[in-house]
Structure 1
Amino acid sequence: MITRRQTMALMGATLASGMVGKGHAETDSLADRVAAGELPAMADRLPKVPRVVNLAAMGREPGRQGGTIRSLIAGQRDVRYMPVNGYARLVGYDMQFNLQPDVLERYDVVTDREFTLYLREGHRWSDGSPFTAEDFRFFWDDIANNPEVYPDGPPVEYLVNGKPPVFEVLDERTVRYTWEDPAPEFLPNLARPAGLRVMVPSAYLKAFHPRYGEPAAIEAAVAENSVDDWIALYQKLSRTNRPENPVLPTLEPWIPRTAPPADQFIFVRNPFFHRVDENGVQLPYIDRHVLGVSSAEIITAKTATGESDLQMVGLDFADYTLLKQAEDIHSIRVNLWKRTQGSRVALAPNLNCSDAGFRAMMRDVRVRRAMSLAVNRDEINLALFYGLAVPSANTLLPDSPLYKPEYAQAYASHDPDEANRLLDEAGFQERNASGVRLLPDGRPANIIVESAGESTLETDVLQLIRDHFREIGLAIFPRSSQRDVFRSRALGGEVVMSVLGGLDNGVATADMSPAQLAPTLDDQLQWPLWGMHFLSGESKGEAPDLPEAQKLLSLFKDWRMSETTEERAAIWASMLEINADQVFTIGTVNGSLQPVVSAGWLKNLPDVALYGYDPCSMLGVYMPDTFWSEKAP
């Protein structure tokens, strides 16, 4: 039986192809190219059935085209925020985190095993080349199943119980993926901020593939791009998560026009973008985005003086007072959005630490519970968040339908007496002259807490927690290093404890993957080697040997085999309960507020919203292509 969730028709109203763009002037910034014959007219650039965004139904104003948005980034790699915010996906989330077709015209799902994807007739990539089933076939046959690229077969994210799907091209606009077992992650993976890649602009990329391209031209391109072979060339030129190749066609609302290195990166409107408003005006409204590279330390000051028209990155709640004071002086608008992390800052005891003494300590649940009970979350909230956050364990927020208060309250009260009792019970009664507890081998429990050194907030939180831990006889010493070095040390077992953000998706629904609750990724710093083991298809890292971690992984595999939302909700509940009881990470506060600053003339940016990477895609679910400039002609 096919449920309502499993069959998606067109979302919202559609416009007949003869009406799209009619009665509306050509976009000013494209008019010269249309007149010169370089571009088709607006009505001919759109798919026959575009996606219609009904702004009035969303409580927003239909806008007008034109204008430039300036933003600041802390480094050249931060161009990666553009496709995250642009959020053009085959399937994406709406503002209530319901899945809906976006680039796709529609999709059908049968028992979470068979997924049929229908493309929009006449849809084109940003260079005008057709977007068809060939873009899916080329990626699947010539890249994902190419033994030169992937000697062990398709990457693990395409596998269900170790098996890839059967891929079929049904016609020029229809493809199908069929797995033997349920694949409930497939659609959510397509909707991720960095969505699962199942298609590429084949008309462009075939030139760099030995099956299709000229050998001499490929060899010349390899040399020109300073890479070793055609595979490295393909990977460099096809990268979408960091849009650094201005020639690579895209389906996003804005196209990169700057190759690194540069002091500013320019993105211009995609003339073939597939969305229109209810009046038939092609989106995006904004013509250009300009990302200026700035020192991270002065982004707040520059934003406060009006040098950014839309800014979230590089700002934190501590900047709110300064920004608010500048609101009237520089005609900016400062809003506070609720962050979706399970904890704004959390501690991650490394259960894979190579130091036998500290590993045994961190694996004792009584120690982890004691550490959590030692943290004075009310003090952290008042000192750093003006009391506006919520003291909590690292878990889901009340905005999630899966939230239960007992998860948030588990070992989250400030109770140093109980913490001391638990540590004594765990066998750490002995102390040195400084009052620091001793490990069984006689060493003091001096715990180095490591980070990537990119957050002053983490430093401030650790300063407070250092005093809290001193009450229970534990000493912590913060140490920061470069992100790559830090992650490498963690995978090497050299890190005893880390400080990081909590659950990335604190507003999850049952149909979203609970992978963040189980050892599934190598960047989960509480168990990086166990995560690597799963991520690598059990070829690297170490298999979990802690019963509770094994249970979490088993439950996650059960979720992957589930067929109903009810089953998934029950599995989520079990995994959340285990995490709350075992305190694998130590949360502090959640529900903290994120400053979102915009120019006074920018319209349709929500005043109140949720802010996070997954599933919000930062600004993505709020559709920045519908933001518009009141100053535009």
Structure 2
Amino acid sequence: MKRLLLGSAALLVLPFAALANCPAITVADMGGVAPGAFPEQYDLAEFQAAASCTIELSENPGIAGFNAQIRGNPDLPAVADRLPEDPLVVVPYASAGSYGGTLDALSNGTEAGTSDFMSLRHVNLVRYSDDLETIVPNVAKSWAWNDDYTQLTFTLRKGHKWSDGQPFTSADVKFWYDNLALDPNVNEKPKDYVTVGGERMTVDTPDDVTVVFNLPAPKPGLLAHFATHFAQGFQPKHFLGQFHPDINPDADTLAKSLGFENGYAVIRAYYGNSDWMDTGTPMLNAPDLVGKLPADAAPTLESHIVVRETTEGRHFVANPYFYMIDTTGQQLPYINEMDELYANDQEVRLLKLVNGEVDYKAQSLQLSDAPLMLENQEKGDYTIQLKPRIAMQAVSFNVTHTDEAKRAVFGDVKFRKAMSEAIDRDGLNSTAYFGQGTLQQYTGFSPLPEFIDQKWKSYAMEYNPEGTKAVLDELGLKDTDGDGFRELPNGEPLVINMQFATQGIAGQVVELISQNWADVGIKSTVKEVTPDEYRSAQSSNQLDVGLWEKGQPMGIILGNNELWVPPFENYFAHRSGMLWAEWVDSNGTSGVEPPDYVKALMADINTLQSTPAGTDEFKAIANRMVAAMVENVLFIGTALTPDPIYVSNKLVNVPEFKTASYEYYRAYPYRPSQWYIKD
């Protein structure tokens, strides 16, 4: 009998008794092995030296069958030929796992509440460790900055392969940047994280494993972007590039031969037309053309790849070429398959959760759901973790409303401040948050750094209904017909339509705010909608108020300016000032010109991203930004609260989360590739 032994430089086939395999160390019991340079993981040579052993590779016994389900994949080579020369060695939390099982997930729907499930298989160049402070290697083997943070160099893993067995190289990073992220046919407007102060970077690839990002100005936060964002800094050039006209002159001809309008149409069928990675595949977008295409889904570096997809859900199998191994040499992931069911109704989701039909869930669960889930933990054989959030549930008035009369009112900072003071946050906390919330105004940075004046946390937070009534009277919002509710200054009825989705805010919170506003004479209607409906209305500037969670930590903001530039976040989150954003994007040719303080915020965030952190200049800029954001009450805060995380008791190696938050990309820091399902 022979086993494959992986040394630091080459693969050797040695007799079974020649060397003992490496110890099955865990985070819980390191067995005397010294930690590596980064928490809970090692480079191969680093681990073998620390443990005085040679890794013996092994694979999932069912992996050939999973490979056969990935249409277009060739026959499977040996595991040593599928892994990089230097695979990432992962230390399991509690125990080395066993292969098998299907993880059952529950999402809202395609492109509407799937990020939680996506985070289970997600990879990027780097990630945050579970301490949420330390950035560690992931797809990239290492990185290095130059002295002034204008050049970031990544070193990739030699021999790394896509899920179809083709080489993953630096060319795939450059292809993502040059041909997708900056191509207006794919991304209408470049995202902030691929620019520095609005200027593009350049990407050099001196060899297959070296990627150099050249920045026009310092931007240390670029690394944190790659550690937290859903948009991966690479795409398969060998696959998508054949349909891109800048890569293949015959791309359109090839696309037309497959039944598509042009090459970009094929790219959109596989990749979407934005940076969101969890779009439908051709199996959903062009099912009648799937058989003509080279594969059902684009190759991935993630732990699992989709093999079946309908409007009801998706099914994934383990990636045969996944680049991670555990300390005993088992190729990860341990979990064979993942099944994702779409359920947009919150009551349906909760029923499935309490019945134990789901293995993991965090997204769309609110604190108001916790009592029911806690009560049924034993029955459903699951555990609820209640963990603090980074973002808070917030409210915003549509300051660029299409209705000119509403725009005039909503655009008045006196009105916005008064409506913040009309909210009884103590009552909100005791009723909707069970007394678990920490009342706080929205400040832009969450948590608010200590060097920023802490007074902003309580700005316009005092419950003052009588003061609100006086301000509304001053603004000409009076009850002229005696029905108990105020009219607009022009005499027309003022009714605020409060559409919300439970993915972004709890219904009880919306109801209580609506009642508080009624108490000062502002009439509103409350309606629950799906996340897709909410986002569609938000995108088309049809909302009266935004109702969603909001907030990011400083480290992430230094890589992505979206909270400070109209519309003040991305498509999936809490936005306002859509016509301001149109003015910015069109260089003033359309939309509505934003006020000076908004222009100052835009300039300040770009300056902050290029200013050395901790300096007096950095602190002054950040303080100025918070003051402008809070004094103008663009977003009205409520409270920082805990939220539930649902974990089936049959899942092993799932640690205690630090936070129930999207901002570090949900489960990504907690290494789901080493989770496994016990028999």
Q: Is the CA contact 1:76–1:260 (under 8 Å) kept in the aligned structure 2?
A: no
1:394 corresponding residue in structure 2: 442
Call closer, same or farther: CA 1:257–1:81 in 2, change over 3 Å. Answer: farther
Q: Which runs of structure 2 are paired with 1:111-122 in the superposition (5 Å)? A: 111-122=148-159
Q: Is the CA contact 1:21–1:281 (under 8 Å) kept in the aligned structure 2?
A: no
Q: Which runs of structure 2 are paired with 1:305-344 in the superposition (5 Å)? A: 305-341=355-391, 343-344=392-393
> 2:196 is paired with a residue of what secondary structure?
coil
1:43 corresponding residue in structure 2: 80
Deviates further, 375-384 or 391-400 = 391-400
Indicate yes or no: 2:659 matched with 1:623: no
State the shift of 1:161 in Å: 4.4
Q: Is the CA contact 2:124–2:233 (under 8 Å) kept in the aligned structure 1?
A: no
Indicate yes or no: 2:481 matched with 1:467: no
Call closer, same or farther: CA 1:571–1:280 in 2, change over 3 Å. Answer: farther
1:200 corresponding residue in structure 2: 235
2:268 corresponding residue in structure 1: 235
Q: Return the alpha-carbon distance in structure 2 between the equivalents of residues 443 and 352 of structure 1.
A: 19
2:550 corresponding residue in structure 1: 503
> 2:44 is paired with a residue of what secondary structure?
coil
CA shift digits 1:175-215 (9 cap, x unpaired): 222132234453333334322x5432122223334553576
What letter is aligned with 1:117?
A: F
1:303 corresponding residue in structure 2: 353
1:292 corresponding residue in structure 2: 341
Q: 1:606 aligns with which of 655, 659, 678?
A: 655
Q: Return the alpha-carbon distance in structure 2 between the equivalents of residues 279 and 537 of structure 1.
A: 57
Q: Is the CA contact 1:381–1:387 (under 8 Å) kept in the aligned structure 2?
A: yes
State the shift of 1:130 in Å: 0.5
Q: Is the CA contact 1:514–1:572 (under 8 Å) kept in the aligned structure 2?
A: no
Q: Return the alpha-carbon distance in structure 2 between the equivalents of residues 33 and 233 of structure 1.
A: 25
State the shift of 1:352 in Å: 0.9
Call closer, same or farther: CA 1:184–1:433 in 2, change over 3 Å. Answer: same
State the shift of 1:570 in Å: 4.1
Q: Is the CA contact 1:402–1:509 (under 8 Å) kept in the aligned structure 2?
A: no
What letter is aligned with 1:54?
A: V
Deviates further, 503-512 or 434-443 = 503-512
Call closer, same or farther: CA 1:431–1:611 in 2, change over 3 Å. Answer: same
What letter is aligned with 1:587?
A: G
Q: Is the CA contact 1:401–1:509 (under 8 Å) kept in the aligned structure 2?
A: no
CA shift digits 1:358-415 (9 cap, x unpaired): 2222222221111111100111122122112222222455586677642321111212
Indicate yes or no: 2:624 matched with 1:577: no
State the shift of 1:103 in Å: 0.6
2:465 corresponding residue in structure 1: 416
Q: Is the CA contact 2:441–2:638 (under 8 Å) kept in the aligned structure 1?
A: yes
Q: Is the CA contact 2:149–2:218 (under 8 Å) kept in the aligned structure 1?
A: yes
Deviates further, 486-495 or 351-360 = 486-495
Q: Which runs of structure 2 are paired with 1:555-574 in the superposition (5 Å)? A: 555-566=604-615, 567-574=617-624
2:209 corresponding residue in structure 1: 173
Q: Return the alpha-carbon distance in structure 2 between the equivalents of residues 205 and 308 of structure 1.
A: 34
Q: Return the alpha-carbon distance in structure 2 between the equivalents of residues 288 and 45 of structure 1.
A: 19
2:600 corresponding residue in structure 1: 551
> 2:380 is paired with a residue of what secondary structure?
coil
Indicate yes or no: 2:255 matched with 1:218: yes
Call closer, same or farther: CA 1:331–1:501 in 2, change over 3 Å. Answer: same
State the shift of 1:67 in Å: 2.6
Q: Return the alpha-carbon distance in structure 1 between the equivalents of residues 390 and 139 of structure 2.
A: 26
Q: 1:16 aligns with which of 36, 45, 51?
A: 45
Unaligned runs of 5+ in 1: 1-8
Q: Return the alpha-carbon distance in structure 2 between the equivalents of residues 16 and 201 of structure 1.
A: 28
Call closer, same or farther: CA 1:542–1:228 in 2, change over 3 Å. Answer: farther
Q: Return the alpha-carbon distance in structure 2 between the equivalents of residues 610 and 69 of structure 1.
A: 22
What letter is aligned with 1:384?
A: A
Q: Return the alpha-carbon distance in structure 1 between the equivalents of residues 229 and 184 of structure 2.
A: 28
CA shift digits 1:443-466 (9 cap, x unpaired): 35x232342555696443232223
Q: Return the alpha-carbon distance in structure 2 between the equivalents of residues 402 and 487 of structure 1.
A: 35
What letter is aligned with 2:547?
A: L
Indicate yes or no: 2:279 matched with 1:250: no
State the shift of 1:105 in Å: 1.1
Q: Is the CA contact 1:533–1:541 (under 8 Å) kept in the aligned structure 2?
A: yes
Q: Is the CA contact 1:51–1:274 (under 8 Å) kept in the aligned structure 2?
A: yes
Q: Is the CA contact 1:347–1:499 (under 8 Å) kept in the aligned structure 2?
A: yes
Call closer, same or farther: CA 1:489–1:501 in 2, change over 3 Å. Answer: closer
Q: Is the CA contact 1:79–1:243 (under 8 Å) kept in the aligned structure 2?
A: no
Q: Is the CA contact 2:505–2:547 (under 8 Å) kept in the aligned structure 1?
A: no
State the shift of 1:154 in Å: 6.3
Q: Return the alpha-carbon distance in structure 2 between the equivalents of residues 214 and 357 of structure 1.
A: 50
State the shift of 1:610 in Å: 0.7
Q: Return the alpha-carbon distance in structure 2 between the equivalents of residues 436 and 333 of structure 1.
A: 46
Q: 1:68 aligns with which of 63, 85, 102?
A: 102
What letter is aligned with 2:621?
A: I
What letter is aligned with 1:312?
A: A
Q: Is the CA contact 1:389–1:593 (under 8 Å) kept in the aligned structure 2?
A: no
Call closer, same or farther: CA 1:397–1:46 in 2, change over 3 Å. Answer: same
Call closer, same or farther: CA 1:198–1:540 in 2, change over 3 Å. Answer: farther
What letter is aligned with 1:503?
A: K
Q: Return the alpha-carbon distance in structure 2 between the equivalents of residues 328 and 482 of structure 1.
A: 30
RMSD: 3.5
2:34 corresponding residue in structure 1: none
Q: Is the CA contact 2:399–2:410 (under 8 Å) kept in the aligned structure 1?
A: yes
Deviates further, 403-412 or 581-590 = 403-412
Q: Return the alpha-carbon distance in structure 2 between the equivalents of residues 474 and 18 of structure 1.
A: 64
Q: Is the CA contact 2:377–2:384 (under 8 Å) kept in the aligned structure 1?
A: yes
Number of corresponding residues: 606
1:4 corresponding residue in structure 2: none
Give TM-score, length-normalised by structure 2.
Answer: 0.79
What letter is aligned with 1:73?
A: S
State the shift of 1:491 in Å: 5.4
State the shift of 1:25 in Å: 3.7
State the shift of 1:216 in Å: 5.4
What letter is aligned with 2:677?
A: S
Call closer, same or farther: CA 1:470–1:314 in 2, change over 3 Å. Answer: closer
Call closer, same or farther: CA 1:156–1:417 in 2, change over 3 Å. Answer: closer
Deviates further, 375-384 or 518-527 = 518-527
> 1:287 is paired with a residue of what secondary structure?
strand
State the shift of 1:52 in Å: 2.7
What letter is aligned with 1:409?
A: S
Deviates further, 511-520 or 478-487 = 478-487
State the shift of 1:348 in Å: 0.9
Q: Is the CA contact 1:188–1:512 (under 8 Å) kept in the aligned structure 2?
A: yes
2:32 corresponding residue in structure 1: none
Q: Is the CA contact 1:372–1:412 (under 8 Å) kept in the aligned structure 2?
A: yes
Q: Return the alpha-carbon distance in structure 1 between the equivalents of residues 609 and 364 of structure 2.
A: 36
Deviates further, 120-129 or 33-42 = 33-42
Q: Is the CA contact 2:398–2:546 (under 8 Å) kept in the aligned structure 1?
A: no
Q: Return the alpha-carbon distance in structure 2 between the equivalents of residues 303 and 403 of structure 1.
A: 41
Q: Return the alpha-carbon distance in structure 1 between the equivalents of residues 560 and 380 of structure 2.
A: 43
1:5 corresponding residue in structure 2: none
> 2:601 is paired with a residue of what secondary structure?
helix
Call closer, same or farther: CA 1:301–1:402 in 2, change over 3 Å. Answer: farther
State the shift of 1:250 in Å: 0.4
State the shift of 1:548 in Å: 2.4
Give TM-score, length-normalised by structure 1.
Answer: 0.85
Call closer, same or farther: CA 1:267–1:117 in 2, change over 3 Å. Answer: same
Call closer, same or farther: CA 1:149–1:512 in 2, change over 3 Å. Answer: closer
> 1:40 is paired with a residue of what secondary structure?
coil
Indicate yes or no: 2:408 matched with 1:360: yes
State the shift of 1:102 in Å: 1.4
1:160 corresponding residue in structure 2: 196
State the shift of 1:530 in Å: 1.6
Call closer, same or farther: CA 1:468–1:157 in 2, change over 3 Å. Answer: same
CA shift digits 1:437-495 (9 cap, x unpaired): 44332335x23234255569644323222332233332223356666665555555554
